[in-house]
Structure 1
Amino acid sequence: MSLESPAKKDIYGQYHLKKVINASGRMTILGVSTPRPEVVETVSQGLNEYFEIKDLIDKTGQYIARLLNVENALVVSCASAGIAQAVAGLIVKDDRDLLFNLHSSTKNVPREIIVAKGHNVNFGAPIGTMVALGGGVVVEAGYANECYADHIASLINVNTAAILYVKSHHCVQKSMLSVAQAAAVAQKYQIPLIVDAAAEEDLVTYYQQGADIVIYSGAKAIEGPTSGLAIGRHQAIEWLKRQSEGIGRPMKVGKEGILGLTRAIELYINDPKHETGQQMVSKMQPFIEKLNALNGISAKVVWDSAGRDIARAEIAFDAKVIGKTAIEMVDLMKQGDIAVYFRQYKANEGKVDADVRSVTSAQLDTIYHKIKNIIQGVE
């Protein structure tokens, strides 16, 4: 009895999965992004071949480093794993005993990781947990609404292992020092700087500004398979790489992920097909106009708070008119045969954002009709 190939089956039907329209952006909870066919083909080729993995890691890292004109590069399993391994690498360095006994060792080595208080966020998991996994101890600099170079400099001491800068929309944006300013402090005191740039689109800026290790998600802007990218100074990346024998072992990335991300980076640089912010505006303008025609709904274009070239539709719900709060609308939009996910960070303010990067015009129409049906009480 032959079984039909799972690849040819309707996976939604086979596993009883709900279909999703992803208007929240490149989010881990929804599978992040959909790689280009060339990347999928490379992943398939990688799955069906054997390699000396250390050689594969080294050679692809060298290739990526040449593409980006950086000293060194390494594919990791994801950005959060990259943070943990970067912290561990800068604490352990070449100490083999510490490599094997990172969390049990009583050796007196620098373990403090300075993080701006406004950067000590939960991105789906706490930044502090990633630091702790790497054997580090978070030391918060400044205040929730303010952190300058002097705040970080004042905390540097013999126990400081690194400075961690989190470049993310999750972080406080106002009254925070820039990456370049953090790099200047790091260089003055000869302390390594790690930049978590998971969702950022520019793969070289923070390295050029002086960061020792910069970490990206491979599946977000780059649109690779589930993976991460660490680039930086040669020695710092080599120390990170050594963690494959330590905490990095349960975080290992497969051959298909290494090759898939390498191909995705190559395409990202040499054959960019990125949708610009203005193109996003054009795509969602009819959607916004239709929403504004609904009683109790108002919509407008807003731009990414972290400074990326990303335009979104901000949708405000007047609870007094439609009888439902934005928080209730977020929940109702996830129900039914097709779940619609918005960026819901501002739901407590009565509004949500629709990120259209992974949404087609037809799906925008589906979103509009679902909103209309909910507020008009149509089943």
Structure 2
Amino acid sequence: MPTAATSHDPRRHVPRTDRLLADERLAEPINRLGPALVKAAVVSAQERVRTGGLTAETVVEAVLESLPANASGLVPVINATGVLLHTNLGRAALSSAAVDAVAAAAGPTDVEFDRSTGERARRGRGALAALAEAVPEAGAVHVVNNGAAALVLAATALAAGREILISRGEMVEIGDGFRLPDLLGSTGARLREVGTTNRTTLKDYLDAVGEQTGMVLKVHPSNFVVRGFTANASVAELAAALGPLGVPLVADLGSGLLRPHRLLPDEPDAATALRDGADLVTGSGDKLLGGPQAGLMLGRVELVESLRRHPLARALRVDKLTLAALEATVRGPATPVIRALEADAEQLRRRAEAVVESLRQSGIPAQAVPCTARVGAGGAPELALPSWAVRLPAEHSGSLRRAATPVVGRVEGGALLLDLRSVPAAQDESLTAAVRSTCADPT
């Protein structure tokens, strides 16, 4: 017979798992998110009942509140850091055209199928055609799964067991501790450094060329600049000298800029490098191009074709979703990163003032302040973009990151800045609502 103590024990009132999962209110989440995720939320809510933090009558409501919007663990955030291409936040935001293309490609597609003949077709021909049209200077194009993969494929095909000549000043670290020498060395190629950190001349390269030279690699440093007493052999100079020797010149541009941009005069682009004589140009799809993660390879027909047919290419190929997003990015409207890059500073000021006015009406001490934004992801490291931000007390930084609609800003000068150059105007209302709900005084 239960005692008075045991009758009040919350553990005796925990609803059974099967009954909870059979509740009609959980039918839609189970169908949308899957039974495993919903069951995990149920188990968590049951534990709260056992510890007295939740009543048995409110378990289903608590489960519904705790469930995510979708089955992925990735949470969308508002990028208010002022870094247009923030690697930790996924770099380029896709255009609406690219998002629509990914959704359309989610089911069966003709990615490798000719609907006219019913036979197998060239994989990703639409994306490849779009790249070829955007950069007619390239005889052929190929796409792999990221920029590092493009370099690995080129190094393996051209220089495995041989030498890659590279300037000592271009032996860069590409992020998260990964270094170019280690990446290239993993292919079986031997790196031969030429020149010095600050000065590498054409003669340095030519003195090192020999029978063991598989390729010459020209790397754009991208995330740092060397100034002062410097020398640097250009792509045009190298191409003119190496062409008669039959040594391939590979130019790794990193940022994936296909053509020159008026705001990026010092950023190399694929079209110019190919016109200057590079045999192969590599870059990333999710940087200044503004598309999905991909490795772009553009160059001479016979060279690109040999890379495409190399056994390693199969392991590095991209999926249909990437191909769909890439084609829509190249053919479609201006991408979010280009819109942010070209945003008018005066319009940013007006947006910041409008957000601040709305927040002040809720009693939040915000200010509109001028600031400086950056390209990010190793692009245009010295380019300072005039911008405007919403200034808040620094202590709100953590709570905004953890909000239902996470907002990621930057702490600078003892304050939290929400830089609007990296925030699309369409997100101003969501940003304002997130700040209001998170930072307003509850009293």
| TM-score under structure 2 length normalisation | 0.60
Instruction: Verify the 8 A CA contact 1:275 1:357 in the aligned structure 2.
Output: no
Query: CA contact under 8 A between 2:352 and 2:420: conserved in structure 1?
Result: no
Which of 208, 212, 216 is the aligned partner of 1:155? 208
Q: Distance in 2 between matches of 1:258 and 1:78?
A: 12
Paired residue for 1:25, among 68, 84, 89?
84
Q: Distance in 1 between matches of 2:420 and 2:193?
A: 32
Q: Structure 1 residues 272 and 278 mapped into 2: Cα distance closer, same or farther (>3 Å)?
A: closer
Using the TM superposition, name which of 354-363 and 282-291 deviates more.
282-291
* Counterpart position of 1:275: 339
Cα shift readout 1:85-126 (whole Å, capped 9, x = no counterpart) = 1212223xxxxxxxxxx6xxxxxx533242442342233422
Asked if the contact 1:21/1:363 (under 8 Å) is kept, the reply is no
Aligned amino acid, residue 213 of structure 1:
L
Tell me, yes or no, if the aligned pair for 1:225 and 1:257 is still in contact at 8 Å.
Answer: yes
For the pair 1:235 / 2:302, whether they are aligned, the reply is yes
Over the aligned positions, Cα root-mean-square deviation in angstroms equals 4.8
| Higher relative contact order, chain-length normalized (CA < 8 Å, sep 6+) | 1
The answer on 1:198 being equivalent to 2:257 is no
Change (3 A) 1:121 1:332: farther
Code of the residue aligned with 1:311 in structure 2: it is L
Q: Residue 39 of structure 1 contacts residue 260 of structure 1 at CA under 8 Å; is this kept in 2?
A: yes
Name 2:385's counterpart in structure 1: 311
SS at match of 1:157: coil
CA deviation profile, 1:27-61 (whole Å, cap 9, x unmatched): 33321222122222222333422424761245643
Quote how far apart the aligned CAs of 1:144 are: 2.5
For 2:275, the equivalent position in structure 1 comes to: 208
8 Å contact from structure 1 (residues 77, 227) kept in 2: yes
Q: Distance in 2 between matches of 1:49 and 1:13?
A: 24
Q: Is the 8 A contact 1:313 1:354 kept in 2?
A: yes
How do residues 1-379 of structure 1 correspond to structure 2 at under 5 angstroms?
1=27, 3-6=30-33, 11=68, 20-22=77-79, 23=81, 24-46=83-105, 47-50=107-110, 51-52=112-113, 55-57=122-124, 60-69=127-136, 70-91=138-159, 110-124=162-176, 125-174=178-227, 175=230, 177=232, 178-187=234-243, 189-201=245-257, 202=259, 203-243=270-310, 245-246=311-312, 248-267=313-332, 274-275=338-339, 277=341, 279-285=343-349, 300-301=371-372, 306=380, 311=385, 356-358=421-423, 360=425
Taking the aligned partners of 2:397 and 2:196, their CA distance within structure 1 comes to 31
Give 1:339 shift. 6.4
Instruction: Verify the 8 A CA contact 1:303 1:312 in the aligned structure 2.
Output: no
Question: Could you tell me how far apart the structure 1 residues matched to 2:202 and 2:125 are?
Answer: 36
Deviations 1:196-221 (A, max 9, x none): 22324224122112111112222222
Structure 1 position 164, deviation (Å): 1.7
Superposed displacement of residue 253, structure 1:
0.8
CA contact (8 A) 2:84 2:341 kept: no
Residues 25 and 343, structure 1, Cα contact 8 Å, conserved in 2: no
Number of the residue aligned with 1:106: none
8 Å Cα contact 1:195/1:214 also seen in 2:
yes
Structure number, greater radius of gyration: 2
* Structure 2: stretches of 5+ with no match in the other structure: 1-26, 35-63, 114-119, 260-269, 357-364
Indicate conservation of the 8 Å contact 1:121/1:171, yes or no: no
For residue 183 of structure 2, give the secondary structure of its aligned residue in structure 1.
Answer: helix
AA matched with 1:167: H
State the Cα distance separating 1:159 from its structure 2 match: 1.5
- Which string of whole-angstrom CA distances, capped at 9 and with x for unpartnered residues, describes residues 167-212 of structure 1? 2432434335243344344335432122222324224122112111
Amino acid at match of 2:92: S
2:86 maps to a residue whose letter is: M
- What is the SS of the residue equivalent to 1:138? strand
Q: Secondary structure at the match of 1:56?
A: coil
Query: Is 150-159 or 168-177 further displaced after alignment?
Result: 168-177
Tell me, in whole angstroms, the C-alpha distance in 2 between the residues paired with 1:356 and 1:219: 18
* Matched-pair contact (CA < 8 Å) for 1:186–1:192: yes
Displacement of 1:277 in angstroms is 4.7
CA distance in 2, matches of 1:329, 1:161: 54
Count of matched residue positions in the alignment of Structure 1 and Structure 2 = 341
The alpha-carbon deviation at position 266 of structure 1 amounts to 1.7
- In structure 2, C-alpha distance between the alignment counterparts of 1:126 and 1:314, rounded to whole Å: 35
With over 3 angstroms needed to count, the CA separation of the structure-2 counterparts of 1:61 and 1:89, relative to structure 1, is farther
Distance in 2 separating the partners of 1:189 and 1:355: 51
Q: CA deviation at 1:366?
A: 6.3
Aligned in 2, Cα 1:337/1:57: closer, same or farther, shift over 3 Å?
closer
Q: Matches of 2:253 and 2:237 in 1, distance apart?
A: 16
- Asked if the contact 1:214/1:230 (under 8 Å) is kept, the reply is yes
One-letter code aligned to 2:282 = I
Q: Distance in 2 between matches of 1:239 and 1:84?
A: 14
The answer on whether the counterparts of 1:119 and 1:171 sit within 8 Å (CA) in structure 2 is no
Letter of the structure 1 residue corresponding to residue 284 of structure 2 = S
- Of residues 167-176 and 136-145 in structure 1, the stretch that sits farther from structure 2 once superposed is 167-176
